Structure formats: structure tokens, C-alpha cells
Chain A
Amino acid sequence: MTQFVRLSRFAAALAAIIAIVASMRLASAEETVRVAFLKTLGVVPVIDAQQMGYFSKEGLKVDMITVNNGPAVVSAVVGGSADIGFSATLPVISAVAEHQPIREFMISTVEHWPLEEGLGEYLVASERSGIKTLQDLKGKTVASNATNGGCDLMIRDHIRAAGMPASEMKMVVIPFPQMKAALELGTIDAACAVAPFSSAIMASPQIKPTVLAKGIIADLPQIKSFAVAGYFARSDWLAKNKTAAAGFMRAMVAADEDLATHPDKYHQIIVNDFNISAELAEKIGFAPNTGSMVAEPKQLETPIAALVRSGLLKVAIPAADVVFTIQP
């Protein structure tokens, strides 16, 4: 029996060693900047910056982590798996409203009216659903990609403007890549999507979509611009890594300039990284960010107001609470 005891102790120790070694090897212990993304067009400049070496010029090594949706990006940053996150401004605002310690420090995408071709949020309905106007959505199933994301706001704001309460529709959550399939199969009647997913949906012969609404909020034509997406990080990280954050911003500005002067590169990256055909990619417009990407509180006032109006945010929070200003 002592033999057995010895064997079992050995086995236990071995198991412990295996477990510890395995978790050590797997644990990330790099000093680079980890950036978490929702995989939409916003990542194109980052890929470009990576390819052109703009990051290394600033002394940074960027690790790209792809996540499924905006709120997941926030969770990744809050939980410490990423240092910087790219997502719509809206989940960030919601997170700050729930006292999460993150701050927006770069606004990289501003939605302008009129929308560039293919860009912006599209609310489309399939032909088989028989929906032709926003009012027809009553009792139908509409998909967004995540609660509290850009599409969630877009749907709610447009139907609010059309005088329909959100409770009259069935809102479901489906990741962007799946929306086209769901529309084709009739699983959902309508969906909100962004490029390049919206472009694929619009081109689908099985869906024959009707565009019900465009743009992140209903009065975008009046307001003219809406800070739609940007980069954020934990406040303590920002306080300690101002130079890294500033370097990141400079690299991104350089990438935007590069893409503005070489639009074919833009389409090339879309084709390579998003599995989209070249003809479809050509249809996606490019709206390079001009001017500074420094996040200013007043840019977030419209998003905050829109969130409150649509009921996604209970109480407005001061825009200054959401922003951490970094000067490049």
C-alpha cells in the first residue's frame, strides 16, 4: 500500500506541475500594447499602421485582439486582457455610466451627413418580410449586433422618430457576420448592420433588401456629425502611459493620412482581412478622419443625449466624465 501512496503523491505532484507550467506558458506576460477590436472597418487604419511600421516608429509593438462585439471590447479592457480598446463610443458611455474605470481618449470615426457610400448604419428589411416602412416593423423581428452598441441605438432612435415604441417589435441580438444568413433564411425580418456586412447584405439576391433607415440617429441630417467610434483605455493605464497613448494616436493619424492618399490600399486591406470580394469592396466608400483625433468632451454630448433619448441610458452623465484628454 505504501507503494500506492507514493504513486498517488507523485501523480498529484506531476499534475500540479503540469497545471502550473501550462498556465505559466499560456499566461500573457508581454509589455507591448494590446489593442482589442470589434472587427469592423475601424480596424483598417490599424492594419495599415502595422504594415507601414508607424507603430514601431513610435516605439510601440501592437498586439491586435479581435472580439465579438463592442461591449466585449469594454470587458476585455476592464478585465485587463487589453490596454486599449476600439469600439463605438456608445458602449463606453454606458460603461462609464455604470462607474467602470475607462476613458475615451481618441475619436477616430465621426459620422457625417451625407453619408459616404456604404458607410454608416443601415437598417434593412428582407423582401420576404414584406416590410416597406419603419411602421411595418410592428410585431416583426429586428436584429442588432449587441445591446448598447451603435446599431441598438440606431434602431431605437429611428423608430422613436417614426413614432413607434420599441416594445412593438421583437429585438434580438445576432453578431454581424450572421445577419446576412439570418435574413436569407427568414430567421429575422430586418437588421441593422455596418460596412462591410451591410454591403454584403445589400448585394444579396436572396434578401433583396429595402433600406428602412440610414445613419446612426434620425436627425443626423440636422446635426451633421456624430462621434461614432474611438479608442479608450482604463484611466489608471492612461495616467501611467501617456506617452504610449500619444504615440498610438500619432501612428493612427499617420495611417489615416496614408490611406487618404492611397485609397486602393484601403480596399486592398478590406479584401484581405474581411473575406469580401474585390467588387464589393470597391463599393465601400472611405471617409478618412481629418483633423485631430483628440477626444474632446463636447464631441460626446450628442451621443450621450441620443442614448438618454432612446432609453438606453437612464440618466445623462457629464461628457467630461467620459473623456481623458491626451495631446499627441
Chain B
Amino acid sequence: MTVVRARTPTKRKPSKKNKDNLAAFLFLAPWLLGLVLVTLGPMVASFVLSFTDYNLLQPPEWAGFDNFVRMLGDERLHNSLRVTVVYVVVSVPLQLGLALLLAVVLDRGVRGMAFYRSVFYLPSLLGSSVAIAILWKQVFGTDGLVNHFLGLFGIPGRGWISEPETALSSLIVLNVWTFGAPMVIFLAGLRQIPAMYYEAAAVDGAGPLRRFRSVTLPLLTPIIFFNLVLQIIHAFQAFTQAFVVSNGTGGPSDSTLFVTVYVYQRAFANFDMGYASAIAWLLLVIVAGFTALNFVAARYWVFYDD
């Protein structure tokens, strides 16, 4: 094919363009296929299913808006929304704050920085894995590391993940601990800030805190915004930690019942895939809403240098 086309000079221009397009699509093909088959297809399916009564083992039956009406009176769903929002609203700012703090410290040119960067990044690689969740369960268990450590100082321990008051906090700590990914992005952002701003500020007599507040922070706002959007979406989708730590129950007494865990329970423990799909779409709308809100708010606090 290509040989034939190369010999017909009159058609060279459009064919070159077509060829480029073809090449582009070829390179995109794996991703496009993945998008259509693994993401879009199931999304369309779940959207259709959200209007059905589907018990997984028998064909779905059309149910109209029943599933959405049912949400209004479902107290466990309301509780799971509350738990999820608390998790997002508390853990994301803490995580980003810690990430920014460490990024600024590491950016100072600490000796062996590459080593520290890797060490701090490590939890991010492991954070949402099953292995870490199991480790968390041991560490925060009644007979776990944390209680033994507290015992050294005579402080009575408790069941950090088996008591409703503290279970969610334990998961929040786990999420905050995986601050490595935003930290690396902050580090890259810090490198982008021209040194001359700091020099000028120093000449004007600004101390380190003032330089951070008046130079670093404003110039870093686009990066903070990026991290905020990403981590909020990420936190809304948290599943593995809560599922493994509570053994799939979202317990004790629903205190760690994320919406994702509830969706899973309805779908696979209660054979209630139609309703589960409807809740999944509710979650999508909520995440989209938070993201839109973020973009609107960004106009007032994000500063673009150029």
C-alpha cells in the first residue's frame, strides 16, 4: 500500500495526512480499545442496568426510576454518603498539606534527597494494595503494634479498626500516609518557580516564611489545584482499604461503609445489580459535582503566571 501511494505524486499531500492519521490511530488503538471495551462499554451497560431489577443470575427486568426513588429512603445509603464525604473532606487536605510540607523540605536540597524521595513515595505505590490493608489491620488491631507501643507508656489501647469511633480515622490515616504521589508533583512544581523571584524577595528583605507565602504558594496554586482535583476523585473511589480492613462489611456498624463498598455489597452480596448500578451513577454525579465546584472556585484562588 504505502509503496503504491508513494509513486503517485499528485495524491502525496492528502495521503501523507491520511497516513499520519492512520499511524496516530494505530498507536492509540490499544488505549482506544481499552476505553471502549473496558470503560465505555461497562459504563453504558451499568447506565442501562440502573433502570432495571437485575439479580445477576437471571435476565434484568425493566424497573424505570424505581431504583432512584428507592435511594431516597435508604438509610444505609445516606450513611455511606456521609462516611465517604467525611473521608474525602478530612483526608485530602491533610494529605496535600503533608505532601506540600515534605516537598518544600526536600526541595531545600537535603543530602540524599533521591533516597528520601523514594522512601516517601513508597507508601503511594503500596497504599491502595490489599497487602497494606491487611498490614493496617494487624498494626491497628487490639493486639497490634500501635497498642503495644502505647502500652510501653502505660496508655491503654483500643480496637482502632474494630470500634466505630476510630475505624474511619484509621482509614484516613492510611490515606494521608500515601502522600507520595502529590508530593512528587509538588516537587516538580517547585522546580518550575524561577529562582529570580526568590532573589528579588530576599533583596526586599523577605524572610523564609514570607517568601513561602508570597512567592511559593501563589506560583504553586495551579499544581495545588491539579493535586486537589485528582486526590478528591481518588478519595471518592477508595474501596480496597475499607473492604479489606472491615472484611467487606464496611463495619463496625457501618462506620467505614464507603459508597463503593455499599455498591459492592448490593451488587454481589445481595444480588441487587440494578440498584448497585444506580448508586454507582449517583456517585459519578457527586464526583462530577465536586470537580465542577473545584473548577468554579479555582477562578478565585488559582494564579497562572503566564
> Are the chains A and B members of one assembly?
no
